[in-house]
Structure 1
Amino acid sequence: MITLEKTLNILKNDKNFREIIANNRYNWTWAENPTFNKISFDSRDVDAQTLFFAKGAAFKKEYLEKAISAGLTFYVSQIDYEVSIPAIIVTDIKQAMSLIAMAFYNHPEKKLKILAFTGTKGKTTAAYFAYNILKQNHKPAMFSTMNTTLDGKNFFKSKLTTPESLDLFKMMAEAVSNGMTHLIMEVSSQAYLVKRVYGLTFDVGVFLNISPDHIGPIEHPTFEDYFYHKRLLMTNSRAVVVNAGMEHFEIVANQVNDIPHDFYGKSSDNRIEQSRAFSFDGTGKIAEHYDIQLIGSFNQENAVAAGLACLRLGANLADIKKGIAETIVPGRMEVLTQTNGAKVFVDYAHNGDSLEKLLSVVEEHQKGTILLILGAPGNKGESRRADFGRVINDHPQLEVILTADDPNFEDPQIISEEIASHITRTVPIIIDRETAIKKALLLTQNENDAVIIAGKGADAYQIVNGERAAYDGDLEIAKKYL
């Protein structure tokens, strides 16, 4: 719970308080100090003891009026909606939400060792490696795109890579009450852009890589803006781990010069040697032989990044070795074998850089016909469409079928045609994703061939018109037609 006085002190200390507009509504006076037993940004989930946050460009006065009819007595907003209850007016509603949520849930972030991963790709895989490493001798919770667990036993799918601040700190508090000692998080650039983690300091922050992505009218306007918001994790971490082989490494290295840090990658002390399909050797702080179930050098690098971060959080080399060996990730390089011997790879690769790495790994192991099933989501990451075309053009022998992948409010045919416009050869478009998968599997002949189903990974739904539409998932559909 939280009192009005404490709420106002938090806002004033953050220089985010403007005024209370009451006009004697509900006969409230400054002498009163009500206590709020609930915080919410959903106007359908309020009562008389709720402190409500009216946020978002799409928020309407009618939502607030319905909440008042349900008993609401106070709200926080950047706008005075001129309703019958007092308004706490702030300059930045998202900053207010994050700091008030911390206090409301009694600062759970201070009771956990928190490890955060950022990067254009690899966040989920690295988080899974860290989770399996830390669970050897600790009790980690995990907030991941793929799976979230607050108790190490029950897992559920998250709607956002990084939850809204009110949900984030509520989940942290539940993890603390469950006896968890550590928390592993994926922190997106959007989390900083919309201040979901405002005021939060991480024990270790890891920067895996950077490449153009999430650039568009409702995301980041430019690559510079995207990169800046990624780097904010480094500013807000007590110690950092950075990929020395990443693009623009010099900028990040200069930024973290005065922070305790570890670099990893080919040009660092902590590098991979003797890389094989299912094992590698490490040097420096992670000098050991490792077995790994995920093929590809980029997965080995993610494992090293997780290992270095976990060393700073109480893990030892034995934990790291065992954790890496045990890690599998739903929707990441999952492999099936057809009755004719051909391989089927299901992977979440959803931008140009991750697609290039996926194709390179598959081409290293499969020397026959390789077929790629690919789409692009609607209303986000529009730059990916040209990037996909560029990657496909660099692999002229690759056979491609374009299809739907979370079209949302866009027409999947038009999205596919836009991707095709960047490809220098004609490629077929089969909008129904299941039909596309079935067609590709029928085109294989022997063990040298492969089908790559990219983009959705383990997602068992399609996002259509803002809703999750029924879809069995790439892996289950591929199994059906093996």
Structure 2
Amino acid sequence: MHTSLSALTTVVTVLAQHGPAEVVISGLTLDSRQAGPGTLFFALRGTATNGHQFIPKAVAQGVAAIVCEELPAELDPNTTYVQVPDSAEAMALMAAEFYGHPSRKLQLVGITGTNGKTTCATMLHKLFRELGYHCGLLSTVQNQIDEEVIPSTHTTPDAIRLNELLARMLKVGCTHVFMEVSSHSVVQHRVTGLHFAGGIFTNLTHDHLDYHGTFDNYLKAKKGFFDMLPKSAFALTNADDKRGAVMLQNVRGRRETYSLRGNGTFRGKLIENAVHGLHLEVDGREVQFRLIGVFNAYNLLAIYGAAVLLGEEPTEVLTVLSGLTSAPGRFEPIVSPKSRITGIVDYAHTPDALENVLQTIADIRQPSQQVITVVGCGGNRDGAKRPVMARLAAELSDRAVLTSDNPRFEDPNEILAQMQVGVPAEALGKVLTITDRREAIKTAVALAGPGDIVLVAGKGHETYQDVQGVKSDFDDKHVLATMFDLLGK
């Protein structure tokens, strides 16, 4: 694939250009290590590094052209420099142009919100494949082209990777693509220039304030996704979330809602929430689903509503949806063979998500069942939620074990000290603190009696633990199953 630099610059605002415009571009990159002949290098201002400092390296490797916000003091005569107001925005627009705007030829649906993005995207992908379509998935857990799994490193890939993946999906015959849209991706212009058929809003709670600074900025980031939807798209939001209506303000496309309280375009009513699944009435039809929990009732309504808005027949959608399971690491049960202890692995890493999971367990547990929760908080992330997470675990569990999550570059003991502040005085006796996550899970299983419930929260689908920049193998599901076996449970 190749095009001319002049064709790519027509879609961006150019402040200055030095060097010939008729340069052949055969590849795009934001990584100077991948720069070379025929490559267009984008110098981005990141949160950790400034790509402008790598311009000399890209030039030394023979890069064809450079897009930047500040021109270097010395310009190489064999390189074309394009100065733009915002390199990230330019990269997104030029990547879409380079790959032939694949999103315009696909039914691309984006899902945003604090919780539920992965479940909605994954289940929409499963649903539409069952309905006979070739589909793509872009999610936190993994990217998929039909059955082909492509490892995922970010909730939303960078704009170059994103357009490349969409082009691959289109080439192999995909008609629908379902993707998570993180708040970071909106602010960083990763989804700029994409054409969406629809957008879904799940909910908005306390998260990512380490990046956005304030809750208002976080809200604006989510709203920014809905503001970019074209007139032809649908905007589907949760009417029962107090920020749902905000998302629809000034939206150009169709404004639709879903609700469990009876005020939405798509209406649901909770009949039963039990260990075997949800029994819901959806738009007048009673349906039994395999998912558990009120939060999943909302996810199911969002999925159903989106499918209908994409033109699918309601009864057929509900029939297929009733047989589907959730995404990996989302309320995923593992039952011990001997003691019938129910282990639940969940990605809950925000106060709202943890409360939802524990409330769901409370709704379906038997009076004789003890609930033991293992939970930690990630390092180099919003610290304000740490004491809140510990308080919820202590208040909503019979026993709680506070432990390490992904400490990253922070001291795990310091993170745990911040969590412990949130434990109420009357609950101190039922809370343990064990830094080593493996030992914490082992202790929780040891404390559990026959039929009890052990929740391991925070990492879900992740198969690693991030300590000082090194990712070591660690899978909560595998560790939990190993401890059942080791302790003869």
AA partner of residue 226 (structure 2):
M
Which moves more between the two structures, 199-208 or 265-274? 265-274
Separation in structure 1 between the aligned mates of residue 85 and residue 182 of structure 2, nearest angstrom: 24
Q: Do structure 1's residue 33 and structure 2's residue 22 form an aligned pair?
A: yes
How many residues are treated as equivalent by the alignment? 462
Determine the C-alpha separation between the residues in 1 that align with 2:483 and 2:239: 42
Distance 2:257 2:115 in 1: 20
1:304 aligns with 2:306: no
Matching residue of 1:292: 289
Note the C-alpha offset of 1:179.
Answer: 0.7
* Cα offset, 1:459, TM superposition: 0.7
The answer to whether structure 1 residue 108 and structure 2 residue 102 are counterparts is: yes
By how many angstroms is 1:377 displaced?
0.7
Match for residue 214 of structure 2 among 198, 222, 239: 222
* Structure 1 residues 370-402: Cα deviation after superposition (integer angstroms, max 9, x where no partner): 11111111112323213313423543x531111
2:372 aligns to what SS in structure 1? strand
1:217-275 superposed Cα distances (whole Å, 9 cap, x missing partner): xx111101101111122222321111111133343354459734233331324122423
Distance 1:324 1:97 in 2: 41
How far apart in 2 are the matches of 1:156 and 1:409? Answer: 27
- Give yes or no for contact 2:371–2:455 (8 Å, CA) kept in 1: yes
Task: Using the TM superposition, give the Cα deviation of residue 197 of structure 1 relative to its aligned residue in structure 2, in angstroms.
Answer: 0.8
* Conserved 8 A contact 1:130-1:184: yes
Does the CA contact (< 8 Å) of 2:108 and 2:198 recur in 1? Answer: yes
**Aligned-partner Cα distance in 1 for 2:319–2:384:** 38
Q: Give 3-state SS (helix, strand or coil) of 1:346's partner.
A: strand
Displacement, 1:283? 3.3
For residues 481 and 295 of structure 1, the distance between their equivalents in structure 2, rounded to whole angstroms, comes to 25
Asked whether the 8 Å contact 1:404–1:432 carries over to 2, the reply is yes
**Counterparts in 2 of 1:65 and 1:386: CA distance versus 1, 3 Å:** same
3-state DSSP of counterpart to 2:343? strand
User: Partner of 1:25 in structure 2?
Assistant: none
User: In 2 relative to 1, CA 2–282 (structure 1 residues): closer, same or farther, beyond 3 Å?
Assistant: farther
The answer to whether structure 1 residue 70 and structure 2 residue 61 are counterparts is yes
Could you report, residue by residue, the CA deviation over 1:146-200 in whole angstroms, capped at 9, with x for unpaired residues? 12102x1111331111111011001000101111000000001111111111132
Matched, 1:280 2:279: yes
Q: Quick one: structure 1 residues 388 and 187, their matched pair in 2 at CA, closer, same or farther if it must change by over 3 Å?
A: same
- 1:99 corresponds to which letter in structure 2? L
Alignment check: 8 A CA contact 2:404 2:412 kept: yes
Are the aligned partners of 1:211 and 1:247 in contact in 2 as well (CA < 8 Å)?
A: no
Q: Specify the code of the residue in structure 1 equivalent to 2:445.
A: L
Distance 1:86 1:421 in 2: 56
The one-letter amino acid paired with 1:2 is: T
Alignment of 1:57-136 (within 5 A): 57=46, 58-59=49-50, 63-81=54-72, 82-84=74-76, 85-135=79-129, 136=131
Counterpart residue type for residue 479 of structure 2? I
Is the partner of 1:133 in helix, strand or coil?
A: helix
What TM-score, normalized to structure 1? 0.91
TM-score (norm 2): 0.90
Unaligned runs of 5+ in 1: 23-27
CA RMSD between the two structures: 1.9
1:252 to 234, 247, 253: 247
Structure 2: which 5+ runs fail to align?
485-489
Q: 2:38 aligns with which of 49, 54, 58?
A: 49
SS at match of 2:478: helix
Q: Contact conserved, 2:111 with 2:120, CA < 8 A, in 1?
A: yes
1:241 aligns with 2:236: yes
Q: What letter corresponds to residue 364 of structure 2 in structure 1? A: H
For 2:67, the aligned partner's letter is: V
Give the percent of matched residue pairs that are identical in Structure 1 and Structure 2. 27
Give runs of aligned pairs for residues 151-230 of structure 1, distance below 5 A: 152-216=146-210, 219-230=211-222
Q: CA deviation at 1:428?
A: 2.2
Residue by residue over 1:88-107, the C-alpha shift from the partner in whole angstroms, topping out at 9 and shown as x without a partner, is 11110111000000000011
Amino acid paired to 1:384: K
What is residue 482 of structure 2 aligned with on the other side? 480
In structure 1, what residue type is equivalent to 2:407? Answer: P
Q: Distance in 1 between matches of 2:299 and 2:65?
A: 46
Residue identity opposite 2:128 in structure 1: L
Shift of 1:73: 2.8
Q: Deviations over 1:296-354 (max 9, x none)?
A: 12112101101110112232231342134222321011112222222111111110001
